Amino acid sequence: DYTISGLKESGTDYPEGLEEKYTKLPNEVPERVYEKSSEITEGKENAFAKVNAIKQWLAKNKEYSLDATSTPPDTGLAEHFIFNTNKVYCSYFASAAAVMLRTQDIPTRYVSGYGGGSRNSEGDFAVREKHAHAWIEVYFPEEGWITFDPTSGSSEAYEEARVAEE
């Protein structure tokens, strides 16, 4: 259990080694990704506010779609998504959010799994590939790993696409 006030006040006193591991980025991440992330989070006083600023920017500027274009071979996925494309699926949202938050020294991890599912004709609960989803978890001292879904419209967009396929 956590509270919003607890997340806002959690600070940056991370367990030893956690910050280094979960803020690490490849050297190939372009400076413009750092700059854009800093621009979006400018003036935000805590990690929770920065997470929400990134989520809001993604929701305002990107659209969930199962018809995403592939990333050119000479461009990183997060960079391509942030600067070159608008219609993408959940893994792009989660990857970009993780990279953007890590540029701000906020411990973040990319998570993928399955959401939803449906009952089949025998009454069993079936989870299929179409129920796959990706999101992020952000570490807050004293609170632990907290799940955030940066996908535009979050579960609403995912659920609408899933139901449309059934």
pLDDT value for 115: 73
pLDDT value for 110: 96
CA–centroid distance for 88 within its chain: 13
Inter-residue contact 64 to 107 (CB < 8 Å): no
pLDDT value for 69: 65
Residue of 1, 67, 90, 124 marked catalytic: 90
Partner residues linked to 64 by β-bridges: 88
What global pTM score does this model have? Answer: 0.83
3-state secondary structure of 114: strand
Quick one: DSSP state of residue 80?
H
- Each of the 166 residues of the chain gets a pLDDT tens digit; together they read 788 999 999 999 999 999 999 999 999 899 999 999 999 999 999 999 999 999 999 989 988 877 766 666 666 778 888 888 877 788 889 999 999 999 999 999 999 988 777 788 888 877 777 778 899 999 999 999 999 999 876 544 444 444 444 4
Partner residues linked to 39 by β-bridges: none
Please confirm, yes or no, whether 149 is among the known catalytic residues. Answer: yes
Please confirm, yes or no, whether 90 is among the known catalytic residues. Answer: yes
135, containing H or E segment: strand 132-140
pLDDT value for 155: 47
Please confirm, yes or no, whether 1 is among the known catalytic residues. Answer: no
pLDDT value for 17: 96
What's the residue count for the chain?
166
